Amino acid sequence: MTRKTDSAAVQGLCSCHVCRLVSRRPRFSTPAHCPRCGAALHFRKPRSLERCWALVISAYILYIPANTLIMMETGSLITYRKDTIVSGVVHLWKTGSWMIATIVFIASVAIPLLKLFSLTLLLISVQRRSIWHPMQRTGLYRLLEGVGRWSMLDIYVVTLLAALVQMGSMATVKAGPAAIAFGAVVVLTMFATMQFDPRLIWDPLQKEDIHD
């Protein structure tokens, strides 16, 4: 009766989020909890899409100040600079540090943006119950999860420098307001990725709707 592709949910099975105990649960039933540990049971992460959307939108909003505001203020005897992420990249590029400029650009500009776009793509496709390339989309999701934390590179650099380089008038490094916004963007995308239930990618392949 059951096909290989039938999901557990279709078969009325539900896994506990906490103790991972699989229990039988009537579909379309009232809320239930795990018979072993008592945690609430859901077939899918509850309101995964909605939460994911909320976080993605928040990340989008904060991405703007993260790139327009000043990321880092560096002051020395001779110079005093205020850099946004992009101006920092440009400065690094101009001064010949192409490698570092590339790394910073990829880590700080490209990846967060790609993450946001990818999440948006996933969300839209899931919402539209698209059956378009579920394998690739799952792969994309795995990539998002893996790569997420590396976006914090910039923040690490700024926080480390700000903490370490405090030599009075000789040299100072201060984190700007963009650092907070940027950190928030990275964290929010990570949360959004966590909130996203990749099983939803496969659900449209089922004949039946999965709820809850």
Partner 1 sequence: MTETPQRDDLNDIPEAVSEPKRRFSIQLVWIIPIIAALIGLSIAVKAYLDRGQAVTITFKTGEGLEAGKTKLKYKDVMIGEVKSIAISSDRSHVVVTAEVNKDSKGLMVKDTRFWVVRPRISGGNVSGLNTLLGGSYIGVEAGASPEPREAFLGLESPPAVSMDVPGRQYVLRAAEVGSLYTGSPVFYRRMQVGQVISTELDPTGKGVTVKVFIRAPHDRFVKRNTFFWHASGVDLTLTASGVKLNTESMVAILLGGISFEDPEKSAKAPPAPPHTSFPLYVTRDEALKNSAAAEKFVLVFKESVRGLAVGSPVDLRGVTVGEVTEIAVAADPRRSDFSVPVEIQLYPEHLLAHSVGAPQQELPEPGGTESRALLNDLVAHGFRAQIKSGSLLTGQLYVALDFVPGARPAKIDWGNTPPRFPTVPGSMEKLQKNLIEIVQKIEKLPLDRLTDDAGKTIKSLDATLKSADKFLKNMDSSLVPEARSVLTESRHAIDDVRKTLSEARNTLGGANEVLSADAPVQIDLRETMREISRAAQSLRVLGDYLERHPESLIRGKKEEK
Q: Are 155 and 48 in contact (CB under 8 A)?
A: no
Q: Tell me the number of residues near partner 1 by CB under 8 A.
A: 46
Cα(28)–Cα(159) distance, integer angstroms: 49
CB 182 within 8 A of CB 116: no
Closest CA to 126 of 198, 45, 44, 60: 198
Please answer whether residues 196 and 48 qualify as being in contact, where contact means their C-beta atoms are separated by less than 8 angstroms.
yes
Q: Give the closest residue to 181 by CA, choosing from 158, 161, 147.
A: 158
The owner of tokens 């940027």 is 182
For residue 171, which phi and psi values (nearest 5 degrees)? -160, 135
Window 97-136: contact mask with partner 1 (x via CB under 8 A): ----------------------------------------
Among 18, 37, 77, 205, binds partner 1 (CB under 8 A): 77
Q: Report whether 92 contacts 104 (CB < 8 A).
A: yes
Determine, following the binding rule CB under 8 A, whether residue 85 of this chain makes contact with partner 1.
no
* 62 near partner 1 (CB under 8 A): yes
Q: Output 56 or 144, the one with its CB closest to partner 1.
A: 56
Stretch that binds partner 1, among 33-41, 95-103, 160-168, 196-204 (CB under 8 A): 33-41
Report the residue number, 3 or 99, with the smaller CB distance to partner 1.
3
- Name the segment binding partner 1 (CB under 8 A); options: 76-84, 112-120, 141-149, 157-165: 76-84
For the record, the structure tokens of 25 come out as: 């649960």
Which listed residue (18, 19, 37, 64) binds partner 1 by CB under 8 A? 64
How far apart (Å, rounded) are the C-alpha atoms in residues 18 and 9? 17
Considering the complex, state which of residue 8 and residue 143 has its C-beta at the smaller distance from partner 1. Answer: 8
Tell me: does residue 21 bind partner 1 (CB under 8 A).
Answer: yes
- Please pick, from the candidates 57, 90, 165, 210, the single residue that binds partner 1 as defined by CB under 8 A: 57
**Could you give the CA distance from residue 188 to residue 54 in angstroms, rounded to a whole number?**
9
Beta bridge pairs of residue 82 = 73
**What's the min distance (Å) between Cβ of 135 and partner 1?**
27
Q: Is 17 in the site for partner 1 (CB under 8 A)?
A: no
Question: Interface residues with partner 1 (CB under 8 A)?
Answer: 1-2, 11-14, 21-36, 41, 47, 50-51, 54-55, 57-59, 61-62, 64-65, 68-69, 77-80, 177, 181, 184, 188, 208
